[in-house]
A = this chain, B = another copy of it.
């Protein structure tokens, strides 16, 4: 079984380019899938350096996150933050204000499957992030 245990070592999908807007800290995006068919959504590989996170935002259809490595947070507005690690799956409903990103100490990588558009809002307050 050692080959099975080792087969996913190292980064899986390309890290892509640094994201310039709507994120704090160093985050990277590689689009893996953007065709119109057969899926009704795009697939991106999102990599957050320690401390990086996106701003509060809302998806008009929703989004699925598949966590492939590291440690991070997912938080909906006025809800406690959920700690995320490799293997976690997050279903983000339509019209729910939320953010996601790395913990202060760890890199964080997830796939994001997005069937619709995104409305970007304000930054996550530094004090709230540091208190996690």
Closest to A30 in B: B87
A89 at the interface (CB under 8 A from B): yes
Contact B8 A86 (CB under 8 A): yes
Q: How many copies does the complex hold?
A: 2
Chain A 44-70: CB-based contact to B (< 8 A → 1; otherwise 0):
000101000000000101111010111
Most chain B beta-carbon neighbours within 10 Å: one of A13, A93, A106: A13
A39–B38 CA distance with the chains assembled, in angstroms: 12
Q: How many residues of A contact B (CB 8 A)?
A: 46
Known: A11-B4, A64-B39. A32 touches B91 (CB 8 A): no
Q: Given A33-B91, A64-B33, A66-B111 in contact, is the A8-B5 Cβ separation under 8 Å? A: no
